[in-house]
Amino acid sequence: MIYALRRLIQAVPVIVLIMIGTFLLLKLAPGDTVDALVGDMGGADAEFIARLRAEYGLDQPVWVQLWRYMLKLATFDFGWSFVYEQPVATILLDRLGTTLLLMATSLSFAFTIGIALGAIAARRVNSATDNLISTLGLVFYATPSFFLSLMMMLLFSVKLGWLPVGGIKTIAGFYTGWDHVLDVARHLVMPTAALSLIYLSFYLRLMRASVIEVADLDYVRTARAKGAGEWRLMIHHIMRNALLPVITLLGLQFSTVLGGSVVVETIFTLPGLGQLAYQSVVQRDMNTLMGIIFLCSIIVVVVNFLTDLLYARLDSRIELA
């Protein structure tokens, strides 16, 4: 419990730094809220603009503005989106579910398949199986997700007609219950594959190296001498320790995966945060963009916290108390 609390407190300065960072980015961007507002209205006279600036606190010293901005962010008030004519927080909440779903499917796929292939490759080092798996890993690593997406679309949607090209569900389907779940799952197959293959290759390579290292340790030899079968040896003795670095990587890379969803969601027109980020850049909707950065950072912090707890559970050398 104290361990968990300490980890949470360590995240506070990072979040404050990110708040300052988004504020600086907003200040760096050409134009401010009032410019956007006036542009939206189609122009206004100078006196009115000055009054608006005062109303929004934009005439205050920078550090006062920064303080107010941080207070607002702390209550998840991200301001107003002049593109969607809605509070940014509402838009983000609307999009969050899709992205979290895509994250969950991609990471679980990458993680399970990655560690399985890595463990198989490590048990037969330098065999044909190992070479095949390692080569696959290298190719997955080098293939950009957008290229993979297009090639999958070409094969599975255009040529074979098995999977839908985009969207999260069939628009005129009005499915309910299990039909709905199945429909969403069909829409998620290609985005999940496109997003996860590169991370799958990371986990595979790390797991392979990690299993090779752990399998050499004395306690594994002892277990083998005591007559533990290969299967039991792998699952009970090697896996648990070999998984530790992979879990660290999972936490560290979560933010990269979230970033990768921008490309994948845009290609497959999934209505998530990534697609919103791309649209906000194109439409210069800075408030929404900053909201996405902040929300994504919070998600990353939470996920890192959870992986830390998981890590501490798996590695009993780390004191939880």
Among 1, 2, 158, 321, binds another protein (CB under 8 A): 158
Sole window of 66-74, 87-95, 141-149, 178-186 interacting with another protein (rule: CB under 8 A)? 141-149
SS3 assignment for the chain:
CHHHHHHHHHHHHHHHHHHHHHHHHHHHCCCCHHHHHHHHHCCCCHHHHHHHHHHCCCCCCHHHHHHHHHHHHHCCCCCEECCCCEEHHHHHHHHHHHHHHHHHHHHHHHHHHHHHHHHHHHHCCCCHHHHHHHHHHHHHHHCCHHHHHHHHHHHHHHHCCCCCCCCCCCCCCCCCHHHHHHHHHHHHHHHHHHHHHHHHHHHHHHHHHHHHHHHCCHHHHHHHHCCCCHHHHHHHHHHHHHHHHHHHHHHHHHHHHHHHHHHHHHHCCCCCHHHHHHHHHHHCCHHHHHHHHHHHHHHHHHHHHHHHHHHHHHCCCCCCC
Q: Which candidate, 62, 72, 128, places its Cα nearest to that of 294?
A: 72
Among 8, 62, 64, 151, binds another protein (CB under 8 A): 151
Among 284, 307, 309, 310, binds another protein (CB under 8 A): 284
Sole window of 74-82, 106-114, 150-158, 236-244 interacting with another protein (rule: CB under 8 A)? 150-158
Residue 243, interface with another protein (CB under 8 A)?
A: no
Residue 217, interface with another protein (CB under 8 A)?
A: no
Q: Least CB distance from residue 229 to another protein, whole Å?
A: 27
Among 115, 120, 242, 286, binds another protein (CB under 8 A): 286
Residue 146, interface with another protein (CB under 8 A)?
A: yes
Site size toward another protein, by CB under 8 A: 49
Sole window of 1-9, 75-83, 110-118, 297-305 interacting with another protein (rule: CB under 8 A)? 297-305
Residue 81, interface with another protein (CB under 8 A)?
A: no
What is the footprint of another protein within residues 12-41 (CB under 8 A)? 13-14, 17-18, 21, 25, 28-30
Among 71, 150, 185, 318, binds another protein (CB under 8 A): 150
Residues in touch with another protein (CB under 8 A):
13-14, 17-18, 21, 25, 28-30, 138-139, 141-147, 150-151, 153-154, 158, 213, 252, 255-256, 258-260, 262-263, 266, 274, 277-278, 280-281, 284, 286, 289-290, 292-293, 296-297, 300-301, 304
